[in-house]
């Protein structure tokens, strides 16, 4: 799936009008029977709404029970997209995104309480918004957001995992963390408790040529940031997304794999 939108804004050292191009891919992997990941790219048809709230990309990786993970990730993506784009005029956009994430958390909690077969389900969620001269994101879990520019790829999110906490506390080194048996244990996820804290952050103003990559841990467990940067720089967003998914599937494939690539490009004259 791919999408394109022209977004107006005042951006230093780049044209005031730019295009956001996006491509997405997902795969069940080589081991699991169902795909518990969910992802979406939303570009409102309403030009006024798009100018006010921009475009949004989200990746979620669900977990729990026979079908709980799939339900949780789908519910998270739907609720986040609906909640953010229902923001009222004047509402701070970063706060609107945080509110949408909290709404998703409550929706998953309620669904788990209403259906015993879904009890304990949860999901990660990483969301990117590009609007005017701003880029911001919200994050829970170990799905990641990378920023690729000038041939380099930098991780913007911090994994909410036990192993990352151990690295921060100097119990493990980064190298030891890669193979630690409990590296997938989450410290935070949507749907696990009502008082969840959402990580939100502003990025620097988007520059022409910037690329943002959202992915589930099925990708970053086996594909290095340098490889992500190389593919994103050399391919169109949709092809880059698919190639990244294919690469992770060949190398490992023990988990579902989902990728969204969002690229900032100059707007064509017709889009201006």
Q: Are 139 and 100 in contact (CB under 8 A)?
A: no
pLDDT of res. 79: 98
Mean pLDDT of 218-242: 97
215 Rama class: left (phi>0) / alpha (psi -120 to 50) / beta: beta
Nearest partner of 11 among 44, 54, 58, judged by Cα: 54
Domain 2-266 belongs in CATH node 3.10.20.440: no
Using CA of residue 92, residue 93, residue 94, residue 100, what is the dihedral sign?
positive
Q: How crowded is the C-beta side of 114, counted as CA atoms within 13 Å? A: 8
pLDDT at 25 over 60: yes
pLDDT at 4 over 60: no
pLDDT at 184 over 80: no
Residue 265, judged by CB atoms within 10 A of its CB (0-12, 13-18, 19+), counts as: middle
pLDDT in tens, 49-69: 999 999 999 999 999 866 899
pLDDT of res. 16: 62
pLDDT at 1 over 50: no
Which of the four pLDDT bands, split at 50, 70 and 90, describes residue 15? very low
pLDDT of res. 200: 96
pLDDT at 11 over 60: no
Structure token digits, residue 192: 């696990």
Range scoring the smallest mean pLDDT among 72-76, 178-182, 215-219: 178-182
pLDDT in tens, 153-179: 999 999 998 877 787 777 777 776 777
pLDDT of res. 142: 96
Which of the four pLDDT bands, split at 50, 70 and 90, describes residue 204? confident
Average pLDDT score over the chain:
89
pLDDT at 38 over 80: yes
pLDDT at 5 over 80: no
pLDDT of res. 213: 98
Mean pLDDT of 193-218: 93
**What is the share, in percent, of the chain residues with pLDDT greater than 90?**
75
Give the DSSP H/E element, type plus range, for residue 63. Answer: strand 55-63
pLDDT at 189 over 90: yes
């Amino acid at each position: 799936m791919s999408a394109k939108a022209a977004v107006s804004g005042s951006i230093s050292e780049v044209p005031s009008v730019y295009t956001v191009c996006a491509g997405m891919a997902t795969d069940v992997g080589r081991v699991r029977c169902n795909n518990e990941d969910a992802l979406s790219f939303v570009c409102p048809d309403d030009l006024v709404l798009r100018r006010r709230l921009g475009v949004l990309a989200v990746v979620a990786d669900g977990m729990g029970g026979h079908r709980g993970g799939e339900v949780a990730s789908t519910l998270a993506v739907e609720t986040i997209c609906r909640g953010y784009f229902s923001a009222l005029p004047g509402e701070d956009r970063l706060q609107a995104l945080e509110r949408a994430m909290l709404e998703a958390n409550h929706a998953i909690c309620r669904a788990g309480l209403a259906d015993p077969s879904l009890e304990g389900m949860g999901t990660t969620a990483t969301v990117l918004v590009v609007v005017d001269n701003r880029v911001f994101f919200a994050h829970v879990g170990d799905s990641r957001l990378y920023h690729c520019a000038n041939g380099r790829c930098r991780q913007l999110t911090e994994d909410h995992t036990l192993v990352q906490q151990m690295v921060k506390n100097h119990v493990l080194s980064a190298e030891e963390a890669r193979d630690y048996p409990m590296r997938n244990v989450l410290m935070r996820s949507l749907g696990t408790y009502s008082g969840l804290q959402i990580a939100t952050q502003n990025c620097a103003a988007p520059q022409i040529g910037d690329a943002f990559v959202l992915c589930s841990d099925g990708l970053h467990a086996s594909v290095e940031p340098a490889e992500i940067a190389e593919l994103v720089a050399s391919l169109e967003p949709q092809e880059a997304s698919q190639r990244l998914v294919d690469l992770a599937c060949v190398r490992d494939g023990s988990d579902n794999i989902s990728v969204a690539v969002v690229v900032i490009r100059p707007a064509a004259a017709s889009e201006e």
